[in-house]
A and B are shown apart, each in its own frame.
Chain A
Amino acid sequence: MFSLMPIVHFVIDASSKTDWARAFEVFLFGFSGVFVALGVLILVIYFMGRLVVMLEKKQKKSA
């Protein structure tokens, strides 16, 4: 009969040496870092977009 126990034992053995606290730290800072970096970039794109549109309007008016 098929049993999952050998796989479970393998996973427990294989992962027993892992520093899980450090791994969780890498996940937490890594994933949130991606959101923060792209979030900041979104804000900059919004503001730069507004600025450029405003400048181009002014340029058209003065022309």
Chain B
Amino acid sequence: MGVAFSNITHKIGLLALTSGHVIMWLIGFLFIFLAIKKDYEPLLLVPIGFGIIITNLPLAPLMGISKEGERHILEIFYHYGIQWDVIPPLIFLGLGALTDFGPMIANPKTMILGAGAQFGVYIAFFGALLFGFTIPEACSIGIIGGADGPTTIYLASALAPQILGSTALAAYSYMSLVPIIQPPIMKLLTSKKERAIVMRQLRPVSKLERIIFSLYTTLVICLLIPESAPLIAMFMLGNLFRESGCVKRLTSAAQNELMNIVTIFLGISVGATMTAENFLRPQALFIFFLGLIAFAFSTIGGLLLAKFMNLFLKEKINPLIGSAGVSAVPMAARVSQKVGMEANPKNFLLMHAMGPNVAGVIGTVVAAGMFLTLVGGH
């Protein structure tokens, strides 16, 4: 009787509850609240928030490995989905099927803005080193500035899995805050005259151009930086589905069913990594702070590069499209459009901003590939 009672008391979660668990529940509730009430990246913050809550239920066999050596359910999602690098490339397949590269193909010089907007990645990289993070950790923190969730997860799982939860959460949180973070910086660094620059309408891009784009981009990027191949190849495969027009079922599956299923597993797996022991440390606060710095400097990098390009271009570009180089598709492009319209109500920058916006996705993947090449990982 006494032994049975002792066994039961050792297996009641309530008795093993700590203040750390409760704090993590509150953090989980906060993200669910922000997703439902404020509409901040709800597709991800709802499963992430719920994942945080359930992974901090003491003694619940959800995350980790049992005494018999068997993985618990969330550990299985995390291990096979993220540690095996399955989920981020699948998300990229869906993104490719959703992305229109037309504006970028029509005006390829704006692509360089997607490179300029990686500036914040390296500022945060150095910032992280100053805060005492190791080089692989600094790479994983810096990439938050690319404003690309799957790439952040892909890189962090390879270089610094111990901070994956914090980096992913920072990336998705700031992505949802793009309309709040970017406009003040955009207005600070540009004059009203610059913001009012009207850009010429883009030329139409033929179907053939769109189809071969996905093929040669795969070859060029994967030959130059093989480490970025898993993400770029899947991205371009999704886009080939879309542009070929002959596999509508596959395009639809990649855009909808596959993307939705994978998003559920991604969200809950990321949330599951955020245990109180992992998250309630000063490092998590530093990561959130550095993520904000990365976002701000990526915006600055894109804007300043656009202004620099205008020194040499006959036909000026509106520097506001530079800030869209921070990926966060299509929100960053929408922000450029909105700020541009405030300066000139007849200015339609959305399609022009989509060029650097999708180039930013490629730029971030290339930056991640360079980190993997230089620091190692796979």
| CB of A26, distance to nearest CB on chain B (Å) | 5
With A34-B115, A41-B362 as contacts: A23 and B132 at CB distance below 8 Å:
no
- CB-nearest residue of chain B to A30: B370
Residues of B within 8 A of A33 (CB): 224-225, 366-367, 370, 373
- Determine which of B119, B206, B216, B371 lies in contact with A26 in the assembled complex, contact meaning CB atoms within 8 Å: B371
Asked whether, in the complex, the Cβ of A23 is within 8 Å of the Cβ of B135, the reply is yes
Among B90-98, B207-215, B240-248, B328-336, the one that faces the other chain is: B207-215
Asked whether, in the complex, the Cβ of A34 is within 8 Å of the Cβ of B363, the reply is yes
A11 at the interface (CB under 8 A from B): yes
| CB of A8, distance to nearest CB on chain B (Å) | 11
Give bound CA distance, A33 to B227, whole Å: 13
With A23-B138, A25-B374, A30-B367 as contacts: A37 and B129 at CB distance below 8 Å:
no
Among B10-18, B103-111, B338-346, the one that faces the other chain is: B103-111
Chain B residues 121 to 178 lying within 8 A of chain A, measured CB to CB, are 122, 125-126, 129-132, 135, 138-139
A40 at the interface (CB under 8 A from B): yes
B202 at the interface (CB under 8 A from A): no
- Determine which of B129, B135, B213, B370 lies in contact with A34 in the assembled complex, contact meaning CB atoms within 8 Å: B370
What 7 additional pairs, Cβ within 8 angstroms, besides A30-B371, A41-B108, A49-B105? A23-B126, A34-B115, A37-B225, A37-B366, A38-B114, A41-B220, A52-B212
Asked whether, in the complex, the Cβ of B359 is within 8 Å of the Cβ of A48, the reply is no
Report the 9 A-B pairs with minimum CB-CB distance, sorted nearest first: A14-B132, A45-B108, A30-B370, A33-B370, A38-B115, A42-B108, A37-B366, A34-B115, A15-B130
A2 at the interface (CB under 8 A from B): no
| Interface residue count on the A side (C-beta < 8 Å) | 35
Asked whether, in the complex, the Cβ of A26 is within 8 Å of the Cβ of B375, the reply is yes
Classify the secondary structure of A's interface with B.
helix
Give bound CA distance, A41 to B330, whole Å: 22
Fill in one digit per residue for B49-83: 1 if any A CB lies within 8 Å of its CB, else 0: 00000000000000000000000000000000000
**Can you offer 30 A-B residue contacts whose CB atoms are under 8 A?**
A13-B132, A14-B130, A14-B131, A14-B132, A15-B130, A15-B132, A18-B129, A23-B129, A27-B126, A30-B367, A30-B370, A30-B371, A33-B370, A33-B373, A34-B115, A35-B115, A37-B366, A38-B111, A38-B112, A38-B362, A39-B112, A40-B220, A41-B217, A42-B112, A44-B220, A45-B108, A48-B212, A49-B105, A52-B206, A56-B208
B327 at the interface (CB under 8 A from A): no
Residues of B within 8 A of A55 (CB): 208
- Determine which of B109, B125, B224, B370 lies in contact with A40 in the assembled complex, contact meaning CB atoms within 8 Å: B224
Fill in one digit per residue for A1-38: 1 if any B CB lies within 8 Å of its CB, else 0: 00000000001011101111011011101110111111
- Determine which of A17, A35, A42 lies in contact with B109 in the assembled complex, contact meaning CB atoms within 8 Å: A42
Residues of A within 8 A of B125 (CB): 23, 26-27
Asked whether, in the complex, the Cβ of A48 is within 8 Å of the Cβ of B224, the reply is no
Asked whether, in the complex, the Cβ of A49 is within 8 Å of the Cβ of B130, the reply is no
With A38-B359, A39-B112 as contacts: A26 and B221 at CB distance below 8 Å:
no
Residues of B within 8 A of A56 (CB): 206, 208
Asked whether, in the complex, the Cβ of B366 is within 8 Å of the Cβ of A26, the reply is no
Residues of B within 8 A of A27 (CB): 122, 125-126
- CB-nearest residue of chain A to B131: A14
